[in-house]
Structure 1
């Protein structure tokens, strides 16, 4: 019914998550609360109408996450802040808007997705909500999705990738969800800023 492969199911199981957008699209009227918690009514017509205009695409929970009932998460324009490093270093950075979603892990901010390295899991124009990583040596959860800023020939390269262990010493392997992008090993010293992607949001209609 969902039109997905066994490999996709295995990925959901291994990451303890699922593509909520796909479930909502295929199972019209299913309550998000029932889907995520098993509580309440399975069918919720009012919620289906709300989700038609704005959906929480997917959450990426860790077992160590502490959920917050409702946060006011700042949404930033990376181009206006001159990159991820500048954004993280500027305590007075001005957000362009705020996002409030229930029962999310603690997040520091949100930015728009650019590029197709994580397609179709993430599309250009989606919003990712992140938690900054301060300890790059010991603070990485292998296999999780990260917002990364790397120094490449003196320029800042910002991308979203899975981070895997590398066979090369003092390096990490950056892996895309898009199979057209080859994995790449880079020295940890090239990473200038790092944030764990906690959730994503996708607009399905213009208005």
Structure 2
């Protein structure tokens, strides 16, 4: 993972190799930008903010997976090189998109109780298990309510977490189920806990015991449909 090289790629792609414009966009100094392009790896919060500002894929940035830019589509009509939401439900042609309007937990969905409403095909998409429409604003502006998150199920929650990545998770506290999207980070409370972090500034981080997480999935990609016309 060569972050410095990718910062250079971003400088060329978005700012015509101009450090001053790059610095102005990110609210930092030209000295910092020069350092990030040559010898200093930026902090994670800067990288995440950079990806949010320019709609750069975190998968590309951290995992060398997929295109640089977040894949978006303006309509549901097939467009060359863009995500295609199939109008016919053919399992062999894409990732199943599940009905998120039904009152089902992620556990129910993983156990096969969900209703498939369509299939999604994206060129170069890593192996994925399903897709859901996101609800809520906890990951805004990276994800908005109504965006589609494409995920890969985590079979072993205790050993299958990659800290710093974004996850779809189902939690149960005092008998109440909730499905949410969060970054998962290490917790200061010990290995039996994780820290759930939102993108939205109004949502505070929360430490949670692993026993409360009933289902977990790594988000592989997201789709934002800007217009239905």
TM-score, normalising length: structure 1: 0.70
For the structure 1 residues 21 and 109, does the alpha-carbon distance in structure 2 shift closer, same or farther, using more than 3 Å as the test? Answer: farther
For the structure 1 residues 13 and 184, does the alpha-carbon distance in structure 2 shift closer, same or farther, using more than 3 Å as the test? Answer: closer
Contact 2:171/2:213 (8 A) holds in 1:
yes
Contact 1:126/1:202 (8 A) holds in 2:
yes
What residue is the counterpart of 1:190 in the other structure? Answer: 212
For the structure 1 residues 196 and 6, does the alpha-carbon distance in structure 2 shift closer, same or farther, using more than 3 Å as the test? Answer: farther
How many pairs are equivalent? 168
What residue is the counterpart of 1:151 in the other structure? Answer: 172
3-state SS of 1:196 partner? strand
Query: Once the 2 structures are TM-superposed, how far is the Cα of residue 21 of structure 1 from its aligned partner?
Result: 7.4
- Pairing 1:4-153 to 2, within 5 Å after superposition: 4-5=25-26, 10=42, 11=44, 18=51, 22=55, 36=67, 51-53=73-75, 72-80=94-102, 82-90=104-112, 93-153=114-174
Please identify which structure carries the higher helix content. Answer: 2
For the structure 1 residues 81 and 197, does the alpha-carbon distance in structure 2 shift closer, same or farther, using more than 3 Å as the test? Answer: same
For the structure 1 residues 6 and 148, does the alpha-carbon distance in structure 2 shift closer, same or farther, using more than 3 Å as the test? Answer: farther
Structure 1 unaligned runs (5+)? 24-34, 38-49, 57-69
- Give the Cα separation in 2 of the matches to 1:174 and 1:13: 19
Structure 2 unaligned runs (5+)? 1-14, 16-21, 29-35, 37-41, 57-65, 77-81, 84-91
For the structure 1 residues 88 and 36, does the alpha-carbon distance in structure 2 shift closer, same or farther, using more than 3 Å as the test? Answer: closer
- Give the Cα separation in 1 of the matches to 2:216 and 2:73: 30
Does the alignment pair 1:205 with 2:205?
Answer: no
Structure exhibiting the larger radius of gyration computed from Cα positions: 2
- Give the Cα separation in 2 of the matches to 1:99 and 1:157: 25
Please identify which structure carries the higher strand content. Answer: 1
For the structure 1 residues 102 and 20, does the alpha-carbon distance in structure 2 shift closer, same or farther, using more than 3 Å as the test? Answer: farther
What is the RMSD of the two structures over their aligned residues, measured on CA atoms? 3.1
- Give the Cα separation in 1 of the matches to 2:98 and 2:73: 23
